[in-house]
Structure 1
Amino acid sequence: MSLDSPVSRRLLSDEVFQRLRDSIVRGELDPGEKVKDGELAERLGLSRTPVREALARLADIGLVEAKPGVYTRITTLNRRDVEKTLAVLRSLDQLAVETAVPLMTEQNLGQMRAANRDFERAVAANDTSAALEADDRFHAVPITVADNPVLSRIIEQLHPQIHRILYRKFSTLLGGRNTIEHHEQLITVCATGDSRAAADLSGQHWSELGGHINRLFDTNQLADTAG
């Protein structure tokens, strides 16, 4: 949904938060871009209150940064911050996988297979949004099965920080056969019930992703400013 589409009166703060978050992920609001609650409120046809609430929540998850009385802006893409976020996500995802594997059913494995088929179709169609949505559904299966609300909440908060890089550089980071094959390998290992091996495989994938992102910073394909 476009940032400029009218917002319903129901759950305004949540809807504004989701709209702004998605606009940041898709790059409609650029890293370092200054934003004003009054201008955003006017674009959305709202009062400033839900917009301010949404911006505060975005600041809490690291997508917006503010210097009171000076600026509110979209957080820059900073190598050091990205590395820290990836390290936390890698550990949390490994914990989710290791916890989930002994509890997985054939239905859960089927959900992962279906998500990977959707991912493969989206990659073939060069549909970044659909591919990331399918990738999220794939990884959401072990997170859901692990049934740890704290873990789920933290992963949900951190994902958008990486998604905005994936959205910009999808073909470089996730668009090849290697991600599809990684998904297939993870399903196979999960099906054996070897939780440690599955967690190790998941960690390896996150480490590879981190290496790819570092190369993008090295070749100046991503901003690297401390702000």
Structure 2
Amino acid sequence: MPVPTSDAAAPRTSLREQVFARLRAAIVDGTLEPGERLHDAELCRWLGVSRTPVREAIARLELAGLVVVKPGSSTVVSPLDQRAARDAAEVAAAMHELATRSAAPHLTEQHLQAMTAANGRFERALARADVDAAVTADDAFHRIPVEVAVNQALGDTLEQVTPLLRRMERTRFASLTGRASVAQHTRIVELVAAGDADAAGREARANWLTLTWEN
């Protein structure tokens, strides 16, 4: 589909990050489709910014594997790459295992209730085939252990690989295959509540590796 024509400007605070985040979100949610050619002028009009932050964002998106840049020729949204997604899933699985194991002793009843509530939203979103809501709820569930773990390197790594996975998960969550995650989420909460941090970490790892098994 063509680049949106909205004239809405990106917020001026942390402009580089705002432009990067908006372009990344547009790629992840499919607004900018795989194989679509990106033109600086169109992106600048859409975002209401100059060329510099757009080019900086494109460079970061290339590093993240979300666009392919041919210098002096074109920039296109990367196709969905099963191998790249599997590689990213393996890294994300290891990071979420570490996050869950590290956070487990510090997760309070309030944290577990928030994770359970997020899983409930996730299940309901899957039931009505609301992919956007499913992704948002899944993010909310997994974000809690990551934040409680307080490991900057872990968070930075997930920031790099998660967008690739979210593109794949949109396909997965649109089908019945994503529903196994509901039970896995429930099991993670149960294991944390039982004080078994290692088993909870292994379950978190298995949850993320379902992407490699089902795609």
Same fold (TM over 0.5): yes
Is 1:207 aligned with 2:209?
yes
Deviating more after overlay: 137-146 vs 39-48: 39-48
Q: Distance in 1 between matches of 2:191 and 2:53?
A: 45
Superposed CA RMSD: 1.8
1:86 counterpart (85, 89, 99):
89
Deviation at 1:83, TM superposition (A): 1.6
Equivalent residue for 2:6, pick from 4, 12, 25:
4
- Would you identify which runs of 4 or more consecutive aligned residues in structure 1 move more than 6 Å? none
Q: Distance in 2 between the 1:3 and 1:123 partners?
A: 31
What are the equivalent positions in structure 2 for 1:171-190 lying under 5 Å apart?
171-172=174-175, 175-176=178-179, 178-190=180-192
| Aligned 8 A contact 1:7 1:15 in 2 | no
Query: How far apart are the structure 1 equivalents of 2:176 and 2:53?
Result: 35
TM-score for both structures, normalised by structure 1: 0.85
1:164 counterpart SS class: helix
Please list the CA deviations of residues 91-116 of structure 1 after superposition, one character each: whole Å capped at 9, or x if unmatched. 11111111111221111111111111
Q: How many Å separate the matches in 1 of 2:169 and 2:77? A: 17
Q: Quote the offset at 1:168 in angstroms.
A: 3.2
The SS at the match of 1:73 is: strand
Q: Which of 137, 157, 161 is 1:158 aligned to?
A: 161
Give 1:125's aligned residue: 128
Match of 1:110 among 88, 94, 113: 113
Unaligned ranges ≥5, structure 2: none
**Offset of residue 58 of structure 1:** 1.4
Measured in 1, the distance between the counterparts of 2:48 and 2:39 equals 14
Specify which of 136, 144, 147 is matched with residue 144 of structure 1. 147
* TM-superposition CA deviations, 1:68-93 (whole Å, max 9, x none): 11221112222221121111111111
Per-residue CA deviation, residues 150-203 of structure 1 (Å, 9 max, x unaligned), is 101211221111111112342236542x22111111100111111111111122
Distance 1:48 1:173 in 2: 42
Q: Is the 8 A contact 2:101 2:200 kept in 1?
A: yes
Letter in 1 for 2:74: Y
Which has the higher mean CA deviation after the structures are superposed, 165-174 or 138-147? 165-174
Give unpaired runs (5+ residues) of structure 1: 214-227
3-state DSSP of counterpart to 1:76: coil
Of 92, 100, 105 in structure 1, the residue corresponding to residue 103 of structure 2 is 100
Maintained 8 Å contact 1:65/1:72 = yes
Q: 1:5–1:118: structure 2 CA closer, same or farther, 3 Å change rule?
A: farther
Deviations 1:26-63 (A, max 9, x none): 11212222212122113333321121122122122221
Q: 1:68 aligns with which of 56, 71, 87?
A: 71
Could you tell me how far apart the structure 1 residues matched to 2:175 and 2:78 are?
Answer: 22
From the superposition, tell whether residues 111 and 9 of structure 1 become closer, same or farther in structure 2 (CA, over 3 Å): closer
Q: Is the 8 A contact 1:23 1:29 kept in 2?
A: yes
Question: 1:151 and 1:117, CA in 2 relative to 1: closer, same or farther beyond 3 A?
Answer: same
SS in structure 1 of the partner of residue 37 of structure 2: coil
> 2:38 corresponds to which residue?
35
Corresponding pairs, count: 211
Given the two structures, how large is their TM-score scaled by the length of structure 2?
A: 0.90
